[in-house]
Amino acid sequence: MIQELPFFPSSPGLLPGGHVIQRKSHDVTPHAAGVREYVHGDAMKRIHWRTSIKRDKLMVKEFEQDPQAEVWIYLDSHKSVHYEKPHEFDESPLNTVLFVRRPKLKLPPSTLEYSVSVAATLAHYFIRQRRAVGYASAGQKYTVLPADRSERQEAKILETLAFVEANGELSIAALVSMHAMQLPKRSTVILITPTIRHELLQAVDDLLLRSLYPVVVLLDAKTFGGPTGTEKIINALRERRVPISIIACDVDLASALASNHSNFNTQELRAWQTPVLSH
């Protein structure tokens, strides 16, 4: 089930690249786009001294976001991390049901079903933004769809998601270890998982060390009938300055994704790339 997202929280420092060079970046990237007049707060290292001397005023370099960076969606399909609550059926009398407004479609109370819906929603969102989107998961077979920004890519991802099952042997950390080395630097990797295990932190640290940008969509396992422990993982991710969207059972998916828990100021957002190494 695809939800229409008004936006997915990001910043040039968090999700660089992917657009067809249209937007200026506040961060230093390898792609210079021109110069502009200095304003208070600009870093000294961005001053273009030759142009400043020529124009007799301070000028700073502007940078485009990296057009080669991609957005990757990694879906955790490890068989031991997914949970599902018993379905609750509406037992209202028939004569009552006939005269009430038809209820909104609800996802089954399963971390896998929610994960699939999140993946479909984010693929749709980023492809509409003309970003190159790739997909990877490791169920009974290892599945990778190379990054592309076409509408056909969205159809491929949706078709793949329709057959996803939680029957994999590989953890999210193993998936990252196998595939992340192939990604262009400064690409964004969205990890969709309900795991409360330390392996999620290993995956995040691995991505950070490879100059990639992790974003975590964390299914709150206890709300799906699973164990507690989500809060501990959330705190560890916040220490790493990693953006997190927390998805509970029965929550409005679009709202939960849009209210990404990256509530840091600009300086903190830029500091998040330095990993806190796993012990």
pLDDT at 278: 52
CA angle, residues 255, 220, 85, in degrees to nearest 5: 105
121: its two tokens: 């929603």
Phi (first) and psi of residue 191, to 5 degrees: -95, 120
Output the domain CATH number for residue 236: 3.40.50.410
Are residues 113 and 250 both part of a single domain?
Answer: yes
Are residues 261 and 167 both part of a single domain?
Answer: yes
Q: Among 22, 42, 64, identify where a domain stops.
A: 64
pLDDT at 141: 87
Q: Among 20, 47, 64, identify where a domain stops.
A: 64
Q: Convert the pLDDT of each residue in 209-220 to its tens digit.
A: 999 999 999 999
Residue 236 lies in a domain: yes
Is the pTM for the entire model greater than 0.95? Answer: no
Are residues 140 and 194 both part of a single domain?
Answer: yes
Residue 239 lies in a domain: yes
| Cβ pair 206, 181 in contact under 8 A | no
Residue 277 lies in a domain: no
Q: In terms of Cα–Cα distance, which of 135, 190, 189 is closest to 157?
A: 135
Residue 195 lies in a domain: yes
Are residues 43 and 162 both part of a single domain?
Answer: no
Residue 65's contacts (CB-CB under 8 Å, 6 or more residues apart) are 12, 16, 17, 18, 19, 21, 23, 25, 29, 31
Residue 125 lies in a domain: yes
Are residues 147 and 257 both part of a single domain?
Answer: yes
41 φ/ψ sector (left φ>0, alpha ψ -120 to 50, else beta): left
Are residues 42 and 149 both part of a single domain?
Answer: no
Are residues 246 and 160 both part of a single domain?
Answer: yes
Are residues 56 and 152 both part of a single domain?
Answer: no
Structural domain including 108 reads 71-271
Are residues 146 and 50 both part of a single domain?
Answer: no
Are residues 80 and 52 both part of a single domain?
Answer: no
pLDDT at 193: 98
| Cβ pair 218, 115 in contact under 8 A | no
Consecutive sets of 10 residues in the chain, 279 residues long: mean pLDDT of each? 80 44 42 70 81 90 66 96 82 54 75 97 93 93 93 96 94 96 92 96 96 95 94 94 93 88 44 45
CA angle, residues 119, 22, 55, in degrees to nearest 5: 145
pLDDT at 261: 58
Are residues 57 and 183 both part of a single domain?
Answer: no
pLDDT at 274: 42
pLDDT at 176: 97
Residue 255 lies in a domain: yes
Look at the chain and report how many structural domains it folds into: 2
Q: Among 12, 39, 64, identify where a domain stops.
A: 64
Residue 21 lies in a domain: no
Distance CA 72, CA 183 (A): 9
Distance CA 199, CA 209 (A): 15
pLDDT at 63: 59
pLDDT at 94: 54
Distance CA 257, CA 255 (A): 5
> Could you write out the DSSP letters of every residue in 30-68?
SEEEEEEE--TT--GGGB-HHHHHHHTS-EEEEEE--TT
Q: Convert the pLDDT of each residue in 97-151 to its tens digit.
A: 555 555 567 899 999 999 999 999 999 999 998 899 999 999 888 999 999 998 8
pLDDT at 90: 57
Are residues 137 and 35 both part of a single domain?
Answer: no
pLDDT at 272: 38
